[in-house]
Structure 1
Amino acid sequence: MANWNEQGLLHMRAGEHEEALRCFSKAVQEQPEDPAGYINIGTVLAAAGEEEKALDCFRQALALDERAAAAYYGIGTVHYKREQFAQAKDMFERALQLGLNDADTHFMLGMSLLRLEMPRLALPYLQRAAELNETDAEALFQLGLCLAHLEYVEEAKRYFEKTIALQPGHADAYYNLGVIYAYQDDWEAARDWFAAALDAKPDHLLAGYGKKLMEKRLAP
């Protein structure tokens, strides 16, 4: 028997959403009691912006198996996209409790807590996400932001530098390094980091303002 879920996942990773949906639909037809097909269809629909249909699929999966962790994760991503961060947090927590202990789940739970202005609670989840996927530049950057919010400045600096090492065009990482050096009264270094942010993203308004401010401070 063809493994339609596996074939669908291959199409999904290749960005071939229609083919992915066709395979996942066949998986559901052949194994209607298996929640995986519904979860996979929901994931594709959510990525395509069909959020209500996606939620229906995730709920169908949970009707079949109330411990289907990936369905809670899927519902959480829809809530997060809708800026319903408290509901998103609850769903990601449930997914973790049920064993979905991957980098994405930790990251999304951490981000939900950050959006709820709870950086101290977000910190361990963002740290775990960065540990589980050391090459995820965005996870490293968000961990840096969280550390900066909590005034762990030297640690934040380290993660912004790691972000740039992985993604040299990450303008916001350059900008935040500029902020840190300005905070430490190292105006020359701050100016250079703001300039680097502008090189990466010429319309970065905050970096432009920061660079002008540092140039005024450095003027004789």
Structure 2
Amino acid sequence: MDKLNRAIEYMQHQNFEEATKLFTEVIEENPKDPIGYINFGNLLVHLNEMERAERFYNRAIELDEQAATAHYGLGNIYYEQEKYTKAQTQFLQAIETGLDEADAYFMLGMTFVHQEYMKLALPYMLRAVELNPDDVDIQFQYGLCLAQNGQIDEAEVTMKNVLQLEANHSDAHYNLGVVALHKEDAALALEHFNRALQSNEEHTLASHAKTQIEQALNEE
């Protein structure tokens, strides 16, 4: 096993000291190769040293503007710092330079969600779902995005997909309850709000919605 792969293995097993030593050697031996800088950047993210990680990713991009995973790493740093416009630019660069993976499209979509550009988020969320249909978080956020774009029937189907993956997903049940209310099916809405509360007793939105429905039913 070469030095780079040994370093990655050390990082995966949280032996950060050995990983640091080997990544340093990799960079010293190959100072013009962006791969060492990218992996050292990944290690620094694990260690929560974001400023240093940013410098390593930028160095990788200086050496190779097509270094897709460096752009993706930078995007994640900016996203965590809530610099969504800068994160958006980096995720887009990552995709355009060949990172055709669900997480890249998902994170790009989420930058638009946080800026409340729901229509812009939708195609990236859809692509993320196409690439990884079994990811609960991707399916759920796609469902929310559909709902916020007024595509209620499609949102309902997607939230049901979430429950296929995770039967006790309280937020999916809550949102299906909201859809049922939208369709004026109070009994079904109540069922979903109850399921949400069974999964998460502290789900305040579901609790409030359940109380409202029960009061309305009692007044009839």
TM normalised by structure 2 equals: 0.92
Q: Are the aligned partners of 1:144 and 1:160 in contact in 2 as well (CA < 8 Å)? A: yes
Report the Cα offset of residue 15 of structure 1.
Answer: 4.9
Gap change, CA 1:96 and 1:149, over 3 Å in 2: same
Partner of 1:172: 171
Aligned to 2:146: 147
C-alpha separation between the residues in 1 aligned to 2:51 and 2:196? 38
Q: Identify the residue that residue 69 of structure 1 maps to in structure 2.
A: 68
Report the Cα offset of residue 61 of structure 1. 0.8
More deviation in 46-55 or 80-89? 46-55
Match of 1:120 in 2: 119
Match of 1:42 in 2: 41
Please tell me whether residue 213 in structure 1 is matched to residue 193 in structure 2.
no
| Structure 2: gaps spanning 5 or more residues | none
Could you tell me the percent identity over the aligned residues?
38
Instruction: Figure out how many residues of one structure are paired with residues of the other and give that number.
Output: 219
Deviations 1:165-218 (A, max 9, x none): 112332211111111111211111111111111111111111111111121222
Alignment-derived partner of residue 90 in structure 2: 91
Q: Which runs of 5+ in 1 are unaligned?
A: none
Is 1:137 aligned to 2:149, yes or no? no
The 2-side partners of 1:157 and 1:96 are apart by 29
Distance 2:138 2:15 in 1: 26
Greater shift, 45-54 or 79-88, is seen at 45-54
SS of the residue corresponding to residue 26 of structure 2 reads helix
Contact residue 168 and residue 195 of structure 2 kept, 8 A: no
CA distance in 2 between partners of 1:110 and 1:16 (Å)? 33
**Kept in 1: contact 2:122–2:146 (CA 8 A):** yes
Q: What stretches of structure 1 move > 6 A for 4+ residues in a row?
A: none
Aligned-residue RMSD, C-alpha = 1.7
